[in-house]
Amino acid sequence: MEISLQYIGFAFLVVSLSWFIALLQKFWLRPKRFEHALRAQGLTGTPYKFPFGDVLQFIELRKMAYAKPMPLSHDIIPRVAPYFQQVMNQHGKKAFAWFEQEPTVILNDPESVWHVLTKQQNIFVKPEQDTSEKLLLPGLFAHQGEKWKKHRRIINPAFHLEKLKLMLPAFSTCCEELICKWNKLIDLKEFSELDVLPEFKAFTGDVISRTAFGSSFEEGRRIFELQEELVMLVVEASINSYIPFYKHLPTKKNKRMKDINREVEKILRDMIEQREKAMVNGQATSNDLLGILLETNIRESQEGGIKNAMTTEDVIDECKLFYIAGHETTTASLTWALVLLSMHPEWQERAREEVFNLFGGSKPDYDGLSQLKIVTMIMHEVMRLYPPVNFMERRAAAEVKLGEVTYPSGVHFLLPYIFLHRNPETWGPNANEFNPERFAQGVAKASVHGAFLPFSGGPRVCIGQNFSMLEAKLCLVRILQHFRFELSPAYAHAPYNLVTMQPQYGAQIIIRRC
């Protein structure tokens, strides 16, 4: 009995010591090795702070920045990225900071960012998502390597030019519903004040529901409602993501996220099974995103075997991503477009003049939309100053040399699009000013590679960028044909980051008929 107790005590001591060494390695020794390796090569940054690095300081600075609106200006970095601005002010354009136990190197130069986005894709990989991120941004956004290549190949046909042209009537239908709704508001008086942020959320949700699922429009709307709720829950959960095991705790919000995911997956699985059954029975496939995706997937399976095709779960994840990526990006772009054109009425008038010269009061067709120069310049400038996504992140899967520095495996790289879009070396001394004229000769002549990345860049550039631009331009054209608009006195300028950058207190606009 005594020997047995001694054995148990010894085993407990060994296990405890192993745990202690593992924790010491994770929370102190490994971070300090990272820090030494970076500083030895001339990089500067914040010192590692046990146990979570700079997370608490990041949260505190963001909380302070979001506490009140800012002046009506496009110099928004102090509000949307106060922590990263502070780090770079103190340590330079290529500095490092700490989010938990691995360093994040901020690459604030276009050349380095373009290299990370376009070269050595097996080295510069996307960091592993946590549980809540996987619920919100699955599929193509999250996959790596061969699985990403397979999914990209299967999804690509849905966004080919000829397919986008077929979706234009669905875009147009949603636009007409929006215009009709706004006209009814004005019928009661000479003008109407409305918050365009929820208006555009509803509009882009309807567009995705129609173009992704066609005849299954009502089911699509239900998915949209659930995904909207999920976005807010995931953003709230991200505040506590640094706390060990927090995401696994049986909290009310964690449970709700899982319930939403189950309901969305059930709706999508039922729709997919119905479509697949109809295709087996010889019925024609729809020209919506789901129909094109399933048709391509079946063809891949027939030509290369089941390993070349996506599973039903894969298709479900891609459909969920259609919703989040498909409506969040365009909602943000349209909302900021109306805010900026209200702030700069001379450009609103130039855009309206171009629209009436091309279309009069008629509905635009695809060829006409492709001829828009002023409107395109405006949309590019809107997305330069207010990019849908402010940052992207990559992680070194192995030791890698970038410039003159060799980075150890495990280092993270922050690609700060919001800073690159305002770099005076690229955009000139007026980089914080709204000036669509800088895009008069097109994107290529306005900047250098890596300096303008509203849809990211390289092989992983947003697959739906043409979809989003077509939708946004059509909607903006129809609004310009029907309404003049200006900022409401109730508008408070307060950009902040959710999944995309949005106005924190809404976007109150006064509209009048042209």
- The strand pair at 191-195 and 405-407 is best described as unpaired
- Residue 341 near residue 348, CB atoms below 8 Å: yes
Strand partners, 405: 402
**Which string of DSSP letters, residue by residue, matches 281-347?**
TTPPPPSSHHHHHHHHHHHHHHHH-GGGS--HHHHHHHHHHHHHHHHHHHHHHHHHHHHHHHH-HHH
- The strand pair at 405-407 and 400-402 is best described as antiparallel
- Is 462 annotated as contributing to ligand binding? yes
- Residue 175 near residue 211, CB atoms below 8 Å: no
* DSSP category for residue 180: H
- Residue 330 near residue 171, CB atoms below 8 Å: no
The number of beta carbons lying within 10 Å of the beta carbon of residue 42 is: 9
Strand partners, 53: 99
* DSSP category for residue 400: E
User: Collapsing DSSP states into helix, strand and coil, what is residue 183?
Assistant: helix
Tell me the angle at which helices 465-482 and 345-359 cross, rounded to the nearest 10 degrees.
90
Which residues are within 8 A (CB) of 290 and not within 5 positions of it... i.e. 6 or more apart? 212, 213, 214, 216, 271, 272, 275, 319
Binding residues: 462
Residues annotated as binding site for heme?
Answer: 462
